[in-house]
């Protein structure tokens, strides 16, 4: 099964928590705080794998959760950082944010790409000692790793894309000029998945892709074309194969115009790519048909070649021209990652510190996900820990929101499992 688009969930590892610890050693008086920092959480890294040609594996595993960093330890020991979590995908895979459609990475090269960053480790209590606070009984939790839904979209890496109506001979053409062995039969939609073949011309070689399923309305989702037009996007040269014989009762000129319309309708950039036209099935056409169609194509300023893929006549001349033309064309298209705008970055930071406050039965209930790890690290029986927690509530805006909602002295405030009486 050829799968070229899937949606998965990825979660980078959280940073390890900082440790609360005090140095204890014989003959060492008042050793002081020595809690170490937490380790960094695992990054999620995508790598191109040439042994993969489809995204089918991701149909069965849709969640990728990376390990967390280790917690800090006593004696100022920093927790171990987690190794990166590597996800292998076919070369040419685009990774997009499922919610916004923003391109996060194009996995076309050999270099690994970090898509979700692991959280940094929290600070141990050794970092909070001051001349006036010599016994800090709190530490910082690790920071959460990035998490989001991503869409993996495979766009084949091919130098040349064969386009044309079904049954014009694209599969036969690629089978005689390369080692590809697509299914070939005399009916429409014999080829139901893109086929790649490596074509060798002397000491040169290039990759050719047979793009199936293009019919009228393909760019709007009709037939199979909408699913596979994306695979033309990286092609440097488009080879438009036409059945010049009209043996199926279609007009080759009309076929040519319709396919070009679908390419333009899908992407103006694709329509602007260099194109050559291959008149296939010339062995079944008369001289007048060939001459008439050649004049039609040459009026458009496009190179035109006669060929019969079934008998291999003319195929060698076509591939020699393609090899020479590719030398003058830029490399395959690579899509640039789209960074967040300042407004989006600002919104992202606000979401990290978002909270809600509501009043139920005289109790002010605070919901703030970022507070949960802090609560787990604070010692509520320790005065300095409580001071630290109060500062977090103040700087995050929670205290201001409570006062705005009319909180009074001795009112009860509930933050998850922790309840306290408000004091001014």
Which residue range forms the structural domain that includes residue 401? 342-421
DSSP annotation of 139 reads -
Task: Give the mean pLDDT of the chain.
Answer: 86
- What are residue 140's phi and psi, to 5 degrees? -95, 140
Residues 47 and 94 reside in one and the same domain: yes
C-alpha to C-alpha distance for 193 and 249, rounded to whole angstroms: 26
Q: How confident is the model at residue 219 (pLDDT cuts 50, 70, 90)?
A: very low
C-alpha to C-alpha distance for 270 and 165, rounded to whole angstroms: 17
Among 289, 210, 20, residue whose Cα is nearest residue 128? 20
Over its C-alpha atoms, the chain yields an Rg (Å, rounded) of: 32
Q: Is residue 333 part of a domain?
A: no
> What tokens appear for 81 in the block?
């950082």
On whether the CB atoms of residues 181 and 77 are closer than 8 A, the answer is no
295 or 156: whose pLDDT is higher?
295
Residues 393 and 407 reside in one and the same domain: yes
Question: What b/e readout covers 298-332, taking b as 16+ CB neighbours within 10 angstroms?
Answer: eeeeeebbbbbbeeeebbeebbebbbebbeeeeeb
Tell me: the pLDDT tens digits for 381-403? Answer: 778 788 888 888 888 899 999 99
Residues 39 and 65 reside in one and the same domain: yes
Which among 155, 184, 204 is the end of a domain? 155
Which among 155, 185, 212 is the end of a domain? 155
Residues 220 and 140 reside in one and the same domain: no
Q: Is residue 230 part of a domain?
A: yes
Residues 131 and 257 reside in one and the same domain: no
Q: Is residue 146 part of a domain?
A: yes
What is the length of the chain?
A: 424
Tell me: the pLDDT tens digits for 286-338? Answer: 999 999 999 999 999 999 999 999 899 999 999 999 999 999 998 888 888 88
On whether the CB atoms of residues 227 and 4 are closer than 8 A, the answer is yes
Residues 202 and 293 reside in one and the same domain: yes
Residues 165 and 121 reside in one and the same domain: no
Which among 155, 184, 216 is the end of a domain? 155
C-alpha to C-alpha distance for 386 and 136, rounded to whole angstroms: 11
Residues 170 and 151 reside in one and the same domain: no
Residues 360 and 288 reside in one and the same domain: no
Q: Is residue 229 part of a domain?
A: yes
Q: How confident is the model at residue 185 (pLDDT cuts 50, 70, 90)?
A: very low
Structural domains of the chain, count: 3
CATH code, 404: 3.30.300.350
Residues 169 and 134 reside in one and the same domain: no
Residues 125 and 192 reside in one and the same domain: no
Residues 167 and 21 reside in one and the same domain: no
Q: Is residue 331 part of a domain?
A: no
Q: How confident is the model at residue 94 (pLDDT cuts 50, 70, 90)?
A: very high
Q: Is residue 190 part of a domain?
A: yes
Among 5, 92, 75, 91, residue whose Cα is nearest residue 35? 75
C-alpha to C-alpha distance for 209 and 194, rounded to whole angstroms: 7
Q: Is residue 213 part of a domain?
A: yes
Q: Is residue 350 part of a domain?
A: yes
């Amino acid at each position: 099964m050829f799968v070229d688009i899937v949606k998965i969930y990825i979660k980078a590892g959280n940073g390890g928590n900082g440790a609360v610890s005090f140095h204890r050693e014989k003959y060492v008086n008042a050793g002081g705080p020595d809690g170490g920092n937490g380790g960094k959480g695992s990054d999620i890294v995508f790598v191109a794998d040439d042994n993969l040609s489809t995204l089918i594996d991701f149909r069965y595993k849709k969640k990728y959760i990376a390990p967390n960093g280790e917690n800090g330890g006593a004696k100022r020991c920093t927790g171990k950082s987690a190794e990166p979590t590597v996800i292998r995908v076919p070369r040419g895979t685009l990774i997009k944010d499922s919610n916004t459609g923003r391109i996060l990475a194009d996995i076309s090269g050999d270099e690994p790409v970090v898509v979700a960053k692991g959280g940094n480790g929290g600070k141990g209590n050794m970092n909070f000692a001051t001349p006036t606070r010599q016994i800090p009984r709190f530490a910082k939790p690790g920071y959460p790793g990035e998490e989001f839904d991503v869409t993996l979209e495979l766009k084949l890496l091919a130098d040349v894309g064969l386009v044309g109506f079904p049954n014009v001979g694209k599969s036969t053409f690629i089978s005689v000029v390369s080692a590809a062995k697509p299914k070939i039969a005399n009916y429409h939609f014999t080829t139901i998945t893109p086929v790649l073949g490596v074509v060798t011309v002397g000491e040169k070689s290039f990759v050719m892709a047979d793009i199936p399923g293009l019919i009228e309305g393909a760019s709007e989702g009709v037939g199979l074309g909408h699913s596979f037009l994306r695979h033309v996007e990286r092609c440097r040269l488009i080879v438009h194969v036409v059945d010049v014989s009209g043996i199926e009762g279609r007009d080759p000129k009309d076929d040519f115009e319709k396919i070009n319309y679908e390419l333009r309708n899908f992407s103006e950039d694709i329509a602007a790519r260099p194109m050559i036209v291959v008149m296939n099935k010339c062995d079944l056409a008369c001289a007048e048909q060939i001459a008439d169609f050649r004049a039609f194509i040459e009026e458009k300023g496009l190179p035109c070649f006669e060929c019969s893929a079934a008998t291999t006549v003319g195929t060698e001349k076509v591939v020699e021209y393609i090899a020479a033309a590719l030398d003058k064309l830029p490399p395959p298209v690579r899509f640039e990652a789209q960074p967040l705008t300042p407004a989006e970055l600002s919104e992202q930071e606000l979401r990290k510190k978002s909270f809600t406050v509501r009043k139920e039965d005289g109790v002010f209930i605070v919901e703030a996900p970022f507070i949960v790890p802090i609560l787990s690290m604070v010692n509520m029986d320790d005065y300095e820990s409580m001071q630290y927690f109060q500062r977090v509530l103040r700087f995050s805006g929670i205290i201001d929101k409570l006062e705005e909602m009319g909180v009074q002295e001795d009112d009860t405030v509930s933050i998850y499992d922790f309840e306290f009486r408000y004091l001014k």
